[in-house]
Amino acid sequence: MQLSRALFRVGLVSTVAIYNLSPTISLAERSSFGIRNSDCLIALLTKEGSCSPEVCQEIGLARGLDLLIIPLLEQDAKLPFLIEHLRPFAFEQSEFSDVIGNLIRTLRELSRLEWLKVTCPKCGEEMTQYLTQEEDVKEALAKGKWLETICSYCQNRIHLDARTFEPML
């Protein structure tokens, strides 16, 4: 969920969210629909999940559709053979926010991410703002600082995690 929320904040839709919708449609059909209607597949590969038949089938479908596949690989997990030639974003659970930050930076380089969705932790309103310039994000990360914005509804100053753009309390 942390990954889906971070992608949503920068205007990307995770099809994992549709897995719980439309229970009358089979999981296989929902997965196939999500992959066929995607620009890329971000494969979150855990120790347990990386060898599951479902994950391998989803990766196989994405390969067959010639989608960009970006693997996120948990420490001690193995890449499925269909993508073992790819260089994954390796992570430990304690450093998952860092991997999300690297993923978002990579996606920014590959596409035109321009908008940021922020929910104010004080008033709960959701705002859409311009995405912080990459140079400012790098500077905040280098200095160990937060990014800042102001809620356009209640004027509350909001600190954002520079890696994931998550509002901090």
Q: What is the pLDDT of residues 76-86, one digit of tens each?
A: 999 999 999 99
Q: pLDDT tens digit string along 35-88?
A: 999 999 999 999 999 999 999 999 999 999 999 999 999 999 999 999 999 999
Name which CATH class applies to 2-110: alpha beta
Q: In the sheet that 68-74 helps form, which strands lie side by side, from edge to edge?
A: 40-45, 68-74, 89-91
Task: With both helix axes pointing from N to C terminus, report the angle between 96-110 and 134-143 in degrees, rounded to the nearest 10.
Answer: 160
Report phi then psi at 47, rounded to 5: -55, -45
- Domain ranges for the chain: 2-110, 115-168
pTM: 0.85
- The answer to whether 147 and 137 have CB atoms below 8 angstroms apart is yes
